[in-house]
Amino acid sequence: MSLSFDPDTIPLPVGHFIGGELIPAGRVIGMRRPSDGKSYTDCPVAGPDLIERAADSAKAALKVSNWAGVRPRERTRALQAWADLIEAEAETLARIEALSSTRPVGQLVAGDIAITAEQIRFFAEFADKEGSELAPTDDASLGMIMSEPYGVVGAITPWNFPVSMAGWKLGPALAAGNAVVLKPSEMTPFSAVYLAQLAVRAGLPAGLINVVLGDGPTTGTALTGHPDIAKVSFTGSTRAGSAIMENVARTGVKPMTLELGGKSPQLVFADADLDKAASAIAGSVTFNAGQACVAATRLIVEKRVADRLTAAILEKMKAVRPGPTWDATTQYSPIISERQRARIDSIVRAAVAAGGECLTGGNSMDHPGYFYEPTLIADVDQANPAIVEEIFGPVLTVQTFESEEEALALSSHPTYGLASGLFTSDLSRTIRFARKLEAGTVWVNRYSRSRDHILPTGGYKRSGIGKDLGREAYLANRRTKSVLISL
Tell me which residues are annotated as active site. 259, 293
CB of 297 closer than 8 Å to CB of 290: yes
Coil, strand or helix at 122: helix
CB of 428 closer than 8 Å to CB of 436: no
Nearer to ligand NAD, 3 or 476 (CB): 476
Cα distances (angstroms) measured from residue 10 to each of 93, 100, 129, 434: 11, 11, 41, 47
Write down the least CB distance from residue 145 to ligand NAD, Å.
Answer: 29
Question: Buried b vs exposed e over 81-115: b needs ≥16 C-beta within 10 Å?
Answer: bbbebbbebbeebbbbbbbbbbbbbbbbbebbbeb
Nearer to ligand NAD, 170 or 278 (CB): 170
CA–CA gap between residue 303 and residue 180 (Å, rounded): 50
CB atoms within 10 A of CB 382: 12
Nearer to ligand NAD, 5 or 159 (CB): 159
CB of 177 closer than 8 Å to CB of 195: no
Nearer to ligand NAD, 13 or 225 (CB): 225
Write down the least CB distance from residue 373 to ligand NAD, Å.
Answer: 20
Binding site for ligand NAD (CB under 6 A): 156-160, 183, 185-186, 215-217, 220-221, 224, 235-237, 240, 243-244, 259-262, 293, 390, 392, 418, 457, 459, 464, 468
Nearer to ligand NAD, 75 or 413 (CB): 413
Cα distances (angstroms) measured from residue 459 to each of 101, 103, 295, 440: 25, 24, 13, 5
Residue 288 DSSP class:
G
Write down the least CB distance from residue 26 to ligand NAD, Å.
Answer: 14
Write down the least CB distance from residue 78 to ligand NAD, Å.
Answer: 26
Residues 6+ apart with CB under 8 A from 226: 48, 51, 52, 55, 154
Nearer to ligand NAD, 123 or 392 (CB): 392
Q: Nearest-CA neighbor of 209 among 118, 82, 46?
A: 82
Write down the least CB distance from residue 487 to ligand NAD, Å.
Answer: 46
Coil, strand or helix at 54: helix
Write down the least CB distance from residue 93 to ligand NAD, Å.
Answer: 19
Report the half-sphere exposure of 37 (CA within 13 A, side-chain side): 9
CA–CA gap between residue 477 and residue 462 (Å, rounded): 22
Nearer to ligand NAD, 211 or 301 (CB): 211
Residue 320 DSSP class:
-
